[in-house]
Chain A
């Protein structure tokens, strides 16, 4: 009897399993949702609709980002349900929602490097037709290119971003410098003089993660090299790329002018170290101000400045871009209302307050000449930051980039730890990435 029961259960389970088709369907090509016509200049009344927005917000509902959502609701009558996460959980949150075929999320923040996956994987709705061409032209070139994948518009630009060069004026003056370095060679010489009495010449976000790749990309182009070529093949192991990693290794191992903790730091850790006044120079994203000038968070109030990343030889400056967009989810059931948010996001009503309170840089060209923006710029950094945007360098946004980036950061980290020579590390990375590209064809 007992055996019979067990057998019955097993047969039941197996027949059920055999009945369900577990084989994967073709990737990314889920059943297309009924394509409704979306219009940028919508006339339909959308009051009372509710959209769900997944984005990075670590300041809560009363922080700058939380407040702006209330403004949007006041203005358009569309309610917004916010799912607030930190940057590192963002990607997982989006992909799990997609994997479970959930239509809960209408809009999601997208980092530039995910564009390929979002499009090929059928996560995001292609906005190329929904956003009129003349509207697209109003975005800055750098912010628009960071949300384009092939001909698709994967997201609407959310903010503009590159890395910038920050320095501590007081520490530089003490060492006899009244200007920041213009070339990486100068940077190296200055670092040697600046490193003493517990102060380090520089600190970096060289934890084995994407932040490490970001700094590497800036340096690759700074030394006149290239990251990937036009055909999408890795070329960072030649010329400028090799020089860049050699430079990083020299700084950490020969000169010892880099705070050793850099190898386990991410961008925020570097910012914190810089704000204690023990680091003379750093590279970092926007959004350092107002924090660096806030006495409750910083010991270097009014002692710091921001400017162009150093270059080398013919290169005046080069910096990796980190612009982001907000994507409209393909499975969303409130596409028109969500598009309304994307439109509102591109106006002054959204961009100015976030610039003022969150240090986020506008995506529309026109806003940079706006007197209100100039007035809001208390630290007088807009022009300096803007200038860097002209020297932005994108990382590839092909679907495989996330994997390639992990391969690369692992190898670079090995070189920084002195376990591999720069050439060996970069060659291995290039070979592995080529193999990954080959396999995903």
Chain B
């Protein structure tokens, strides 16, 4: 807290030249502020205003102020809750799987072995791929009958020969399939973050632990994970927020908008142009995700104080 105080003291002692400089700085900042305001702040405010109107943009009907009835209608809307459920399910499952697999591969890539650089490089490939391309790829893998997913599951006897599930027909199946596709694509992101975290842990800690007779599991439990915790939290927060917005891959897999809130909101806004209802929905989903973010940040803060 030392710095700002010093700054403000300086501020008070400012002479003519400095205040001119400040004026110049403000002038330079204004265009940026204007653009940010127009493209970022104003639309947020506008969507809040719109959420209280019945605003059907493309059907020629009148615009009516309706207060909070868009929100109350939303809470009674079955589709909205289905979408929320699936989004939550997807977020929890995919983030958890990515975390476990990411930690595993980060630990692996942190070991010394031949070809480590090579493996560190190729692991980025799925992550670098466009989500839509990833979606198309997995759509092929998930073809029933001759799709490779079905064939591999049959080879390892998870599926019996007579079974032929439709991976992308029923909403529950779709979500599970999307989890698989997403884990494949995003685990590298987790791995990279955690790998960076692992390399920052001083080796002296491990040496000390070994002196105390700690084995692999004990080292993991008492050194790696506590040291890695802040980065772990950041990775989880980032993935949770991104996963909650899942949308693009679903448009490849299905036309069923109840599979995610973003999909449903998008359809309301940009297919039917019910902009009032869509704005309300966007605000509700933002509120939901804000709760998570606040929770995470608190955990993060608490943890960093302890360290």
Contact = CB atoms under 8 A, between A and B. Distances in A.
A27 B61 contact: yes
Contacts of A20: 42, 45
Interface in B37-89: 37, 41-42, 45-46, 49-50, 53, 55-63
Contacts of A208: 254-256
A403 B272 contact: yes
A20 B44 CA distance: 13
B301 to A, nearest CB: 20
B61 A22 contact: no
B59 A264 contact: no
Interface size class of B (residues with CB under 8 A): 35 or more
Interface stretch (A33-41, A88-96, A323-331, A356-364): A88-96
Contacts of B32: none
Nearest to B54: A439
A27 B55 contact: yes
A400 B271 CA distance: 10
Contact of A27 (B45, B57, B271): B57
Nearest to A419: B170
What is the interface of chain A mostly: helix, strand, loop, or mixed? helix
A441 interface: yes
A123 B143 CA distance: 39
B205 interface: no
A120 interface: yes
Contact of A24 (B41, B55, B144, B254): B55
Nearest to B8: A1
Nearest to A441: B61
A26 B58 contact: no
B270 A209 contact: no
A208 B63 CA distance: 31
B164 A260 contact: yes
A398 to B, nearest CB: 8
B11 interface: yes
Interface-central residue, A13, A23, A27, A99, by most chain B CB under 10 Å: A27
Given A22-B49, A24-B53, A207-B254, A260 B58 contact: no
Interface in B223-266: 251, 254-258
Given A1-B11, A208-B254, A123 B50 contact: no
Interface string A12-48: 0100110010111111100000000000000000000
B129 interface: no
A209 B253 CA distance: 11
A96 B271 contact: no
Given A17-B45, A402-B271, A121 B11 contact: no
B58 A123 contact: yes
Given A13-B41, A17-B45, A263-B166, A26 B62 contact: yes
A44 B135 CA distance: 50
Contacts of A99: 57
Contact of A28 (B8, B42, B60): B60
Nearest to B170: A417
B273 A117 contact: yes
Interface string A339-368: 000000000000000000000000000000
Nearest to A120: B60
B270 A27 contact: no
Contact of A440 (B61, B145, B170): B61
A261 interface: yes
What is the interface of chain B mostly: helix, strand, loop, or mixed? loop
B50 A22 contact: yes
Given A22-B42, A22-B49, A417-B169, A121 B59 contact: yes
Nearest to B48: A22
B275 interface: yes
B90 interface: no
B81 to A, nearest CB: 15
B167 interface: yes
B178 interface: no
A28 B49 contact: no
Contact of A117 (B8, B58, B164): B58
Nearest to A212: B255
B86 to A, nearest CB: 14
B271 A121 contact: no
Nearest to B164: A260
Interface string A378-409: 00000000000000000000011011001001
Contact of A406 (B56, B168, B271): B271
Contacts of B8: 1-2
A413 B59 contact: no
A410 interface: yes
Contact of A95 (B63, B273, B274): B273
Interface-central residue, B8, B53, B272, by most chain A CB under 10 Å: B272
A263 B50 contact: no
A116 interface: yes
B115 interface: no
A186 B267 CA distance: 40
A13 to B, nearest CB: 6
A13 B33 CA distance: 10
Nearest to B49: A22
A23 B64 CA distance: 10
B4 interface: yes
Contacts of A28: 57-60
Contacts of A441: 61
Contacts of B57: 24, 27-28, 99, 121
B215 to A, nearest CB: 48
26 contacts: A2-B8, A13-B37, A17-B41, A17-B45, A20-B42, A25-B63, A27-B60, A27-B61, A28-B57, A95-B270, A96-B270, A99-B57, A117-B58, A120-B60, A121-B273, A208-B255, A209-B255, A261-B144, A263-B169, A403-B271, A406-B267, A406-B271, A410-B258, A413-B169, A417-B170, A440-B61
Query: 8 closest Cβ contacts across the A-B interface?
Result: A121-B58, A209-B255, A120-B60, A399-B59, A263-B169, A264-B168, A22-B46, A22-B49
Given A22-B49, A121-B58, A121-B60, 12 more contacts: A23-B49, A23-B63, A24-B55, A27-B57, A121-B59, A123-B58, A260-B166, A399-B60, A402-B272, A403-B272, A406-B271, A410-B258
